[in-house]
């Protein structure tokens, strides 16, 4: 717990330092900036990178709470790298979309003197959609992709989180296949969400800029970026990563842990069917338990 508090304190200190020392260009008469939130400035990029590191810490903590079956480091790294690569792709998609959607009207509609909005409004809207309805849509699309690849393409080694018999040397071929399926499902999900946003663009942007983020207008751009691209995403993205990790990890291991947790919660009183199924999924503790569990891409923490 003290380590977590130290990490949080360090995060706050670094974020505060970045906020105080970094400046985003604004309109003061002599420059060309229009005073709006900028998504690709130095402060923005550093804030986003720091956010990414904190989100990775949430997945690291989740691994230490896996009990009694815990993924090996190579398997965990494969699972997490899927989300890292996917998050990078989604982030690029969000930033580019935010910039394109808020280009000056003279570029988009050949008119002069107007803007289509603040990029931070679009980025905030994308984050909210990604971390709420987006997770459920991704789950459905991901399952459809897996079903299609198995049924119609005859692909093997695509059961997410399963990388072969040796959890300490997972198969790269299986990983590449699963990464491709996950990334494809993620991009399809983004386009679905983009279509939903486009259908209700005016209403959603008005709610975002005039209600949800209106109170930020009186503060400096740095503070708006800090809130929109750090405070809000840190909570929502951590929750999103944990939820996604639950359905891209090895499902056999997940069910086994759930059954063992129920056994502990109910004082060892599971019905006979649940107990038999649990034992079928994971052998009883023995000196060879780690070897026996190799087929699940995990190791067991002994207590």
Residue reference for tokens 């679905």: 192
Determine the pLDDT at residue 294: 44
Per-residue pLDDT of the chain (303 residues), as tens digits, is: 444 434 444 344 334 333 333 333 333 334 444 555 655 567 667 767 777 788 888 899 999 888 888 899 999 999 999 998 998 888 788 778 777 766 654 454 545 444 455 667 777 887 888 888 999 999 999 999 999 999 999 999 999 999 998 989 999 999 999 999 999 999 999 899 888 888 887 888 888 888 888 888 788 877 877 787 778 878 888 888 899 999 999 888 888 888 777 777 666 555 545 444 444 444 443 333 343 344 445 554 433
**Local structure of 65: helix, strand or coil:** coil
Residue ranges per structural domain of the chain: 72-100+125-259
Q: Quick check: pTM over 0.85? A: no
pLDDT score of 29: 36
d(CA 112, CA 106): 5
Q: Which segments of the chain are extended strands (E)?
A: 69-71, 298-300
User: Which residues neighbour 152 within 8 Å (Cβ) at sequence distance 6 or greater?
Assistant: none
Q: How far is CA 84 from CA 15, 47, 196, 237, in A?
A: 22, 17, 25, 12
Query: Is the CB of residue 207 less than 8 Å from the CB of residue 112?
Result: no
């Amino acid at each position: 717990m003290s380590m977590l508090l130290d990490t949080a304190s360090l995060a706050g200190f670094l974020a505060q330092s970045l906020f105080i020392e970094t400046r985003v260009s604004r309109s003061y008469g002599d420059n060309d900036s229009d005073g709006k939130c900028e998504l690709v400035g130095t402060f923005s990029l550093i804030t986003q990178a720091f956010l990414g590191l904190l989100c990775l810490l949430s997945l690291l903590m989740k691994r230490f709470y896996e009990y009694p079956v815990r993924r090996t480091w190579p398997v965990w790294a494969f699972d997490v790298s899927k989300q890292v690569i996917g998050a990078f792709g989604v982030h690029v998609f969000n930033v580019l979309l935010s910039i394109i959607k808020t280009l000056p009207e003279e570029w988009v509609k050949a008119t002069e003197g107007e803007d289509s909005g603040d990029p931070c409004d679009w980025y905030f809207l994308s984050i909210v959609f990604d971390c709420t309805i987006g997770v459920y849509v991704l789950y459905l699309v991901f399952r459809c992709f897996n079903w299609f690849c198995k049924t119609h393409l005859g692909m093997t080694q695509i059961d997410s989180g399963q990388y072969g018999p040796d959890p300490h040397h997972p198969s790269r071929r299986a990983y590449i296949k699963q990464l491709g399926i996950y990334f494809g499902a993620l991009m399809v999900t983004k386009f679905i969400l983009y279509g939903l946003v486009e259908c209700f663009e005016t209403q959603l942007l008005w709610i975002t800029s005039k209600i949800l983020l209106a109170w930020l207008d009186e503060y400096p751009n740095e503070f708006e970026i800090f809130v929109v691209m750090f405070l809000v995403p840190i909570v929502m993205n951590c929750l999103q990563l944990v939820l996604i990790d639950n359905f891209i990890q090895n499902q056999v291991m997940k069910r086994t842990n759930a059954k063992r947790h129920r056994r502990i919660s109910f004082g060892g009183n599971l019905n006979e069917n649940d107990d038999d199924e649990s034992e079928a999924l994971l052998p009883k503790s023995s000196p060879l338990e780690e070897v026996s569990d190799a087929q699940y891409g995990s190791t067991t923490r002994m207590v």
